[in-house]
Amino acid sequence: MAQKIIDLRSDTITLPTPAMRRCMASAEVGDDVFGEDPTVNLLEARTAEILGKEAALFVPSGTMANQIAIRAHTEPGDEIAVEANAHIYYYECGSPAALAGVQCRLLNGQRGIFSAEDLLSALRPANLHFPPTRLVCLENTHNRGGGSVWPMAQISAVTQTARRHGLRTHLDGARLWNAAIASGNPEKAFARLFDSVSVCFSKGLGAPAGSALAGDAAWIQRARRFRKQFGGGMRQAGILAAGALHALDHHRERLAEDHAHAQQLAARLANCPGVELNPATVETNMVIFRCLQRPAAGLVERLQALGVRALAIGPDQIRLVTHLMVSSRDIQRAGDILVRVFKS
């Protein structure tokens, strides 16, 4: 019998559990564009409660949540301030320009985290030659930062600086659930510092699809119009919302297991020849390391042949992501394979 492939490319590959599928199959549904899907309405109210916001909006994807937020906070010709490796800029297909008509002012952070001083230095003086900066976006946890968690004090300093200069603030919290578990701070403690927050249900929480955008009620009503304009208005979406509700109730606390698994992998890899990795940088469910002797793409091919899927994110960088679908036994086996490859 062939051994199971251990897929560590991303937490987006998670599958709904049998219990989640049962909830989805029995979900009460209606037309969400008319506001008549009771399960979607329940999910939006639950998400708003968790985040400490007045209202929330269910959308198909994290990219759509972020891009609706940008459009609802800005007007074409504006500028947004965002870290240079942020998902909004790096992985969302040029959407700020294409959908909102705004340009990005890039800030250089450390593992995706920048300071209030970095923001201040990027703000343009009032001058008709310059686009007005309207919005500051942060990402927590930070994907390309290796799942790094923003310190609460640093978030507060950045958002206070933004407000003093009349800027709106948005948090890309696709993996905010991981940040909450890792830091011990509830999601609403992070969310209260921002005008809007997006969260994702289809990564570590294991739902098949869907994200949410939260903010004050009037702003969410404006965002609802842009959801429709961007093609995100769904009809009997309660089937998806039921999966997200199940995930909120049953899969948030278990993220600590994913974090422990990532630390196990990091500890084993750190001692391998040809690997550059500081285990202290592994804060949540991501392990990013440099390959010093061989190209990352070739190593990924070798790992897949042995039963472990990883992701090359650069010529010499590999990413491993732990998630709901990998057990402690899988992590042990994956670690054995990784060590064998790097010691061979």
Task: Provide the CATH number for the domain around residue 101.
Answer: 3.40.640.10
User: Which residues touch 35 (CB under 8 Å, ≥6 apart)?
Assistant: 41
Token pair of 250 as six digits: 């049953």
Q: Is the pLDDT of residue 1 over 60?
A: no
pLDDT tier at 2 (50, 70, 90 boundaries)?
low
Give, for 118, the enclosing helix (H) or strand (E). Answer: helix 116-122
- Residues 234 and 262 occupy one common structural domain: no
Domain of residue 220: give its range: 18-249
From the list 205, 272, 245, 190, the residue with the least C-alpha distance to 58 is 245
- 227 vs 185: CA distance, rounded Å: 30
The torsion angles phi and psi of 320, rounded to 5 degrees, stand at -120, 135
- pTM, whole model, 2 decimals? 0.96
Give the pLDDT confidence of 246-274 residue by residue, as tens digits. 999 999 999 999 999 999 999 999 999 99
Question: Are both 190 and 63 inside the same structural domain?
Answer: yes
Q: Residue 228 pLDDT > 70, yes or no?
A: yes
128-146 average pLDDT score:
96
Nearest Cα to Cα of residue 223 among 237, 234, 212, 209: 212
Q: Which two tokens stand for residue 179?
A: 């940040």
- Considering 249, 269, 298, which residue would you say is the last residue of a domain? 249
pLDDT tens-place string over residues 83-94: 999 999 999 999
pLDDT of the residue at 3: 81
Among 249, 280, 311, the domain-final residue is 249
Provide the CATH number for the domain around residue 323: 3.90.1150.10
Domain boundary among 218, 249, 280: 249
79-93 burial code (b ≥16 CB/10 A, e <16): bbbbbebbbbbeebe
pLDDT digits (tens, 9 = 90+) for 313-322: 999 999 999 9
Shared-domain flag, residues 270 and 293: yes
Cα three-residue angle 78-82-85, rounded to 5 degrees: 140
Written as six digits, the tokens of 48 are 């708003």
Query: Which pLDDT band holds residue 141 (cuts at 50, 70, 90)?
Result: very high
The arithmetic mean of pLDDT across residues 42-53, rounded, is: 98
Count how many residues are written for the chain.
344
Q: Which helix H or strand E contains 18, and what residues bound it?
A: helix 18-25
Cβ atoms of 136 and 162 within 8 Å: the answer is yes
Number of structural domains (the chain) is: 2
Residue 2 lies in a domain: no
Cα dihedral sign, 103-108-112-114: negative
pLDDT tens for each residue of 166-203 = 999 999 999 999 999 999 999 999 999 999 999 999 99
Mean pLDDT of the chain: 97
Residue 344's pLDDT band (cuts 50, 70, 90): confident
Can you count the helices (H) and strands (E) in the chain? 14, 13
Task: Evaluate whether residue 12 is within a structural domain.
Answer: no
